Structure 1
């Protein structure tokens, strides 16, 4: 990791599909100012697991052609533990003092920063403000309001409950919001607690009694968005990206009838699962000095504003959440700031793929009624321990 720290010259930046056309313009801007340190964009697919595997293959082959890579917040610990990411300390340090805490925490492993937070993301409660003028602040309050959904013949609440990464997000949010946690601060599973049980049981009970509609067991982000957007849900948990779709799509039945709030918790705002991406420097890069300057460029206010305006990506700089130009265009930023200040990264562990598998499979079995919440958590605990995260 000490090699090529002073190297300067062309670099390659690797990121998933540029759907909102944000990557090319900011790279063009960099290139115009750095004729001898040009950045080439290597575009991956839009599937997160394929992006992950592509990065792993390049790192394993120790290839120097992936200089700066975009890493999902859940990959940082895995890549750092394998020694693939350049630690951002000493002469490679970046200033994180103006950033939100949660994304910085998610970009760190064992107390060292390994990536520059680039954009953040947190879960938000969307609600029908025409039917519920004041959103619930606790889970129990929300469940009581389900009578309003019944009276209007629509579903009450849904997140994403298909067996995939989104279910890990939703199960972790339920557990964290009830005061529990999937892993403790030493990275060991801590699922056999009354808080974890209460959290998972909240979902299981709501699904069993119909407050979460039956079809929600097939929902990923897009299916659940369509259910809310077509007017079939009173409350809905999703990421901020759906805001622009609900407000602009012609088919939207709730364009001006919805509000956004923090996810409800046990006795106040709950804990959102943190999403988002960071930019990391490969230890195999030959031009790390250029790469470091490029990370600092990504973190500048001007680029952060551009990401927010162009792709409704949540900035990592705290000050932008009070920027009037941005909050006028993206009114949800104030809600998102609250969500992010209560956000908890998904379990930070190099064994993340095994952890998420254990959480998804067991939470899904509990929702379907194949296991009690208690049994599901005990099995989750066992699987994570045997995957090595308990040692």
Structure 2
């Protein structure tokens, strides 16, 4: 988040943007701003652009840097932040109703097939005639194409999230435990921490219904060898791998703080940075302040690694936030210009420094200044390069909601594991067959 201690640096940053702005021309690589194309479809001068964004650290960092854009171009950026649960529905309804309330929209990458199939976003290839520059991480760019990785560019990778495993190295050292490489290791280490460390839980699951629990459970499911669909696009969530993964997930719940059935990103970040837990899966943008002495009680005590596996299977889930232009926008040219500016190397670095952005450019993960702030950056880059995307289907949101409902019911004890997974599988198959 933007802190008072950063006001002076931020003012210097704004001044540098103003000085450099007069020297910059247009670019198709996204590294500079073209201030000439700032007219709307109707030819009227653009004074403001509205960006629909997810509430939290990402939106806060975006709000902190956009005054510099107004100083440079005269165009104000209105960041409309809203909770995750409301964001997608709000965007889709506005596009379908041709409302034009938003000129740019942030989207979770699993939404991309639905937005692509629905022709909801402006195609961007003509605005990047030479293609995106090679500094963008390839796995992130693939998410913004429809069809996935091979089709037209409809969004740019904006926030380079990827799941990582976080653990208290001081506690593992204290009790002579090895960093876990399997989920069996995780459970055993968590039990040891709970037994020997007062007021500390061994783990924290992210159990909130819907997207949170599905995203948290999928690495275990993949780790046990699970596949959401087979080669014929038939649901497989009730497989033996699914049963084993869910039983392990329930074991981890018993080693977690009370109330994890409703935990989402904020609660995971708080539990980790306040020293309440020994291990967890987290997205880096949640815990960018883990070494900030002003807000963290575990400075220098957290290490990070690849997601553990089981029986030789392990996968880090990519979770980029994408930035696109809705078809309903009447200010496409100006929106493209802002998109190029905000995804440039310079601005992505500034957002990262404000604590609200995981870059989508490879060079920033090798930037010495940022590595001093975020020592996990080299590991995060490796995770991004080797990450796996969630199933690319326009029905994923429906599938995720349904699967998440049954996983939640299992987690709180309303359904037994096999019964809940069988019901989930049947419902998911019905969604696929529609």
Alpha-carbon offset, residue 167 of structure 1: 0.7
Question: Structure 1 residue 151 and structure 2 residue 151: aligned?
Answer: no
Structure 1 equivalent of residue 299 of structure 2: 255
Quick one: structure 1 residues 34 and 350, their matched pair in 2 at CA, closer, same or farther if it must change by over 3 Å?
A: same
Deviations along 1:221-262, whole A, 9 cap, x unmatched? 333444444433221222224434444466754334322222
Aligned partners of 1:137 and 1:267 also within 8 Å: no
SS at match of 1:163: coil
**Contact 2:203–2:277 under 8 Å retained in 1:** yes
* Residue 275 (structure 1) aligned with residue 319 (structure 2): yes
Match of 2:114 among 49, 67, 78: 78
TM-score (normalised: structure 1)? 0.84
What TM-score do the two structures reach when normalised by structure 2? 0.77
Q: Unaligned stretches of 5+ in structure 1?
A: none
1:87-166 superposed matches below 5 A: 87-90=123-126, 94-95=131-132, 97-111=134-148, 112=151, 113-133=153-173, 134-149=178-193, 150-153=195-198, 154-166=200-212
Change (3 A) 1:46 1:378: same
Q: Any gaps of 5 or more consecutive residues in structure 2?
A: 1-39
Alignment-derived partner of residue 348 in structure 1: 392
Partners in 2 of 1:67 and 1:224 — Cα distance? 32
Q: Return closer, same or farther for 1:320/1:383 CA change in 2, 3 Å cut-off.
A: same
Once the two structures are overlaid, the 10-residue window that deviates more, 100-109 or 115-124, is 100-109
Q: CA deviation at 1:127?
A: 1.4
**Contact residue 7 and residue 287 of structure 1 kept, 8 A:** no
Structure 2 CA distance for partners of 1:187 and 1:72, relative to 1, 3 Å: farther
CA root-mean-square deviation: 3.1
Aligned pairs for 1:296-375 (under 5 A) are 296-375=340-419
Moved more, 95-104 or 136-145: 95-104
Change (3 A) 1:18 1:28: farther
For the residues of structure 1 that align with 2:126 and 2:42, how far apart are their CA atoms?
13
- Secondary structure in structure 2 of the residue aligned to 1:95: coil
CA distance in 2, matches of 1:379, 1:164: 16
Q: 1:307 offset after TM fit, Å?
A: 1.5
Question: How many residue pairs get matched?
Answer: 382
Aligned to 1:23: 62
Q: Which moved more, 1:276-285 or 1:113-122?
A: 276-285
Secondary structure of 2:203's aligned partner: strand
2:103 to 67, 75, 99: 67
